[in-house]
Structure 1
Amino acid sequence: MTESNLANQPSGVAPRSAAKPLSEVAQQLIVLGEEDQRDREKAMTAGFDDARLAEADRRRQAAWLEITSGRLLGLSEVGEAAVTAQFLLLQHSGDRILQADMARQMQELVEKGDFPKDDFATFIDRQLVYDGKPQRFGTQANESFELYPIEDESNVDKRRESMGLPPIAQLREKLQQIKSTVATGKGLGE
């Protein structure tokens, strides 16, 4: 590692050469991702404390930053399960500056074929929706299972196809099925 690389390391974080083996890093990420999903299942139940979920998300984000030194790891480094875990942790982060940086890193990895395109599309859409802008790929729906506005909707299927996503009509049909199921009083998992 060169001196300039050492200068770019976040303070208090060991350089990658002194870091844990990537297999251990991958396992730690997977555990954090599984915890994230368990918490989200609990969040679907009545009386769940949203503040607890936000605190757990902050804790997981801090763990991710420590484990990865703030660098998004690709498929070739840690495998699909660990990359999916990173996506979930970052998607649920409340740190918009971190998310903007991760969007850039994701795009670089997508261009190399080292990050799932569909996860990147979902991540970008969520950021656009948070910013009050139309989404690009049509991956985000509100609590009424209606899609948020989509930019240039007449060409959304071309963009979706480029990211490995099915046509928007299929998504809308699926959302309608979910909406009908919920309207009958059944839960999402029934």
Structure 2
Amino acid sequence: MTCIVGLVDGDRVWMGGDSAGVNGLDITVRADTKVFRNGDCLIGFTSSFRMGQLLHYRLEVPSRDGDVDLFRYMVVDFVDAVRSCLKDGGYAHRSNDVETGGTFMVGLEGRLFTVQSDYQVGEAVRGYHAIGCGSDYALGSLASTAGQPPEERVLKALECAEMFNGGVRAPFTIQSSLRRPQLALTEAA
């Protein structure tokens, strides 16, 4: 199920997701969205609606000291908060002493990260990424629409995924993240 598309455009991240809930051959168009904001984070999920609900309503996004590298923050502080949230919410799985969660994307401070089910954090150098069963179609679309407006690119990628994958359905939710923080300028006295 699912197609989540993320795209970095300057100091913003654009993210879109479909509305399909899939169980075997059954599909339900869901009212609860797979793309949302939690604090300064723009989050889009696949894997499980329960995981997404925990990330949306229960996850307390930790604050980041401005001196801490953003990637390090994501790998250490953010993932530790996610792991605790998923464990406390009864979603994290443990098998053979290996803990797993689910897959989701995070747009933060103008950068796009993917958190995999083993909690590894990735950041694609190409400036866009897609996850879920429709991801291959979405990635092909994103590669072919360079230079077009970001919201249009995300929409086209989702439409392409829906056209070719039975687990992706409109309506689509598309949001952009907060702008990357700028250094504060002080007035000279």
* Higher-RCO chain (CA-CA 8 Å, sequence separation at least 6): 2
Report which of the two structures shows the higher radius of gyration computed on alpha carbons: 1
Q: Same fold (TM over 0.5)?
A: no
Structure having the larger proportion of residues in helix: 1
What is the TM-score normalised by the length of structure 2?
A: 0.28
What is the TM-score normalised by the length of structure 1?
A: 0.28
